[in-house]
């Protein structure tokens, strides 16, 4: 397909869909079918040869076979997903975790090493520590704020350097909004690549969605998404995606076909609908996040606000990374309430509109307690080191009226009684 000239938000309305193939329907119908009729036995033979990569079909268009391999809704969704990040191809999955798992298992073999940024999404942390290690892959972590020299020294001194195969990062970190320098990771990946072993850089870009950060432009090889979050955006589907070069995505799709981790036609259709409003939803949520962050920053019962607008400004190194790779301040923020778990829970239990739930990136605002919920599995010392304490509350801002969100937060904070400080005599 010819490279489009229009902006992604314009292309979300029709790109990749040919009405003449669907009775002229303006919108792509849901192709709720498991299998497709071949026009002739010869066609069926040719499609299977192409699906299995047999030679002799250069320039021919692949036909539809079976919905685990291909389906019009999945294919059109993928054509649109790749546009935001400027990738050559995209692959859509049944969940963010199946996108991550299928991608990692495509490129890793026993004996390989994965370098990852800490903290990672809980499911990814579990996957790499319990499943990858079970298959003989070694994992080693680093943190935001570590310099390239420090990370490289750690790789060399731990004896992992030669076997490094993949760097997997999440930036900004959840829930602290600490930034990891994507260009720096790309440099490390190149420095540890050998003639017969390219080190791949994969970035889980879920937190910034497809709008506010484009890792491929900073040297990443693969971008991964939980499409459950901003892409789906209505807290009503579970889905995932990978974006990158035609070569890498082609390999990932082969794994997907045999794992059966593809997205289904109905969810593909829902995501196409969601993508039409992606930009306006994310922009509205970002405006609310800025308003709420500003309110919290001045509140006497709030000790610290973790918002990209502030974390970046408080630290010159983080600010440099922010200016280089972030196109917005996001719609996720956390704050430390004065007190501990009791005060945090009082706040959460008294919210009237904002829902007490994990997940993020939906039209409605959500609040949760990382230390006892999303990050409860992270060992205590590690949590303390990462500033994920009992007094922290995480907010995902939605697209409501910003004043309503502030007044909900205001009345919940009013219910919180701050413990008297113990005076040292």
Ligand X SMILES: *Cc1c(COP(=O)(O)O)cnc(C)c1O
Residues that bind ligand X (CB under 6 A): 95-97, 121, 123-124, 170, 174, 204, 206-207, 226, 228-229, 238, 240
Distance in angstroms (rounded) separating the CA atoms of residues 240 and 37: 28
Distance in angstroms (rounded) separating the CA atoms of residues 256 and 260: 6
CB of 156 to ligand X, least distance (A): 29
CB of 180 to ligand X, least distance (A): 13
Helix 402-414 × helix 278-297 angle, to 10°: 40
CB of 358 to ligand X, least distance (A): 8
CB of 348 to ligand X, least distance (A): 19
Residue nearest to ligand X (CB): 96
**Is the CB of 165 or the CB of 375 nearer to ligand X?**
375
**Is the CB of 192 or the CB of 226 nearer to ligand X?**
226
Q: Which residue has 């076909």 as its token pair?
A: 257
CB of 350 to ligand X, least distance (A): 26
**Is the CB of 184 or the CB of 360 nearer to ligand X?**
360
Classify strands 138-143 and 113-118 as parallel, antiparallel or unpaired. Answer: parallel
**Is the CB of 226 or the CB of 325 nearer to ligand X?**
226
Q: Which residue has 């040869």 as its token pair?
A: 49
Q: Nearest to residue 168, comparing CAs of 132, 143, 213, 203?
A: 203
**Is the CB of 124 or the CB of 186 nearer to ligand X?**
124
Q: What are the backbone angles phi and psi of residue 344, rounded to the nearest 5°?
A: -65, -45
Contact indicator for 343, 302 with CB cutoff of 8 Å:
no
Distance in angstroms (rounded) separating the CA atoms of residues 164 and 193: 8
Alpha helices in 21-71 (DSSP H): 41-51
Distance in angstroms (rounded) separating the CA atoms of residues 221 and 274: 26
Contact indicator for 396, 359 with CB cutoff of 8 Å:
yes
Distance in angstroms (rounded) separating the CA atoms of residues 407 and 405: 5
364: phi > 0 → left, psi -120 to 50 → alpha, else beta; which?
Answer: beta
Structure tokens at 275: 């993508």
CB of 237 to ligand X, least distance (A): 9
Cis check for the bond before 172: say yes or no (omega within 30 of 0): yes
CA distances from 200 to 141, 225, 265 (A): 16, 17, 30
CB of 370 to ligand X, least distance (A): 12
CB of 418 to ligand X, least distance (A): 31
**Is the CB of 204 or the CB of 221 nearer to ligand X?**
204
CB of 96 to ligand X, least distance (A): 2
**Is the CB of 82 or the CB of 229 nearer to ligand X?**
229
CB of 211 to ligand X, least distance (A): 15
Distance in angstroms (rounded) separating the CA atoms of residues 417 and 347: 10
Question: What per-residue string of b and e applies to 87-117 under the rule 16 or more CB within 10 Å gives b?
Answer: bebbbbbbbbbbbbbbbbbbbbeeebbbbbb
**Is the CB of 121 or the CB of 306 nearer to ligand X?**
121
**Is the CB of 96 or the CB of 265 nearer to ligand X?**
96
**Is the CB of 14 or the CB of 123 nearer to ligand X?**
123
């Amino acid at each position: 397909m010819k490279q489009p000239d229009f902006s992604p938000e314009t292309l979300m309305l029709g790109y990749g869909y040919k009405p003449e193939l669907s009775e002229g329907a303006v919108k792509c119908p849901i192709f709720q079918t498991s299998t497709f009729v071949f026009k002739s036995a010869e066609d069926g033979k040719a499609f299977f040869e192409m699906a299995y990569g047999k030679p002799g079909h250069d320039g021919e268009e692949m036909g539809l076979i079976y919905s685990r391999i291909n389906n019009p809704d999945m294919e059109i969704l993928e054509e649109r997903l790749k546009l935001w990040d400027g990738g050559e191809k995209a692959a859509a999955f049944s969940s963010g975790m199946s996108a991550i798992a299928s991608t990692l298992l495509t490129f890793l073999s026993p004996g390989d090493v994965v370098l990852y940024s800490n903290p990672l999404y809980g499911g990814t942390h579990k996957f790499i520590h319990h499943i990858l290690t079970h298959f003989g892959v070694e994992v080693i972590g680093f943190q935001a704020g570590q310099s390239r020299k420090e990370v490289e020294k750690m790789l060399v001194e731990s004896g992992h350097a030669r076997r490094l195969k993949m760097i997997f990062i999440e930036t900004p970190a959840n829930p602290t909004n600490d930034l990891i320098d994507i260009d720096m990771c790309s440099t490390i990946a190149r420095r540890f690549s050998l003639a017969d072993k390219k080190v791949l850089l994969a970035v889980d870009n879920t937190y910034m969605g497809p709008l506010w950060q484009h890792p491929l432009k900073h040297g990443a090889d693969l971008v991964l998404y939980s499409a459950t979050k901003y892409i789906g955006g209505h807290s009503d589907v579970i889905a995932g995606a990978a974006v990158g070069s035609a070569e890498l995505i082609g390999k990932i799709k082969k794994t997907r076909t045999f794992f059966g981790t593809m997205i289904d036609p109905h969810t593909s259709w829902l995501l196409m609908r969601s993508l039409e409003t992606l930009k306006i939803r994310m922009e509205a949520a970002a405006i609310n996040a800025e308003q709420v962050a500003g309110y919290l920053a001045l509140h006497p019962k709030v000790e610290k606000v973790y918002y990209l607008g502030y974390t970046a400004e408080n630290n010159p190194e983080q600010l440099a990374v922010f200016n280089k790779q972030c196109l917005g301040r996001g719609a996720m923020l956390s704050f430390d309430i004065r007190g501990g778990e009791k005060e945090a829970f009082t706040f959460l239990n008294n919210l009237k509109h904002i829902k007490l739930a994990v997940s993020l990136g939906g039209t409605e605002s959500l609040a949760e307690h990382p230390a006892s919920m999303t990050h409860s599995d992270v060992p205590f010392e590690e949590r303390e080191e990462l500033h994920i304490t009992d007094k922290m509350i995480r907010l995902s801002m939605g697209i409501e009226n910003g004043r309503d969100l502030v007044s909900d937060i205001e009345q919940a904070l009013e219910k919180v009684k701050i413990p008297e400080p113990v005076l040292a005599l």
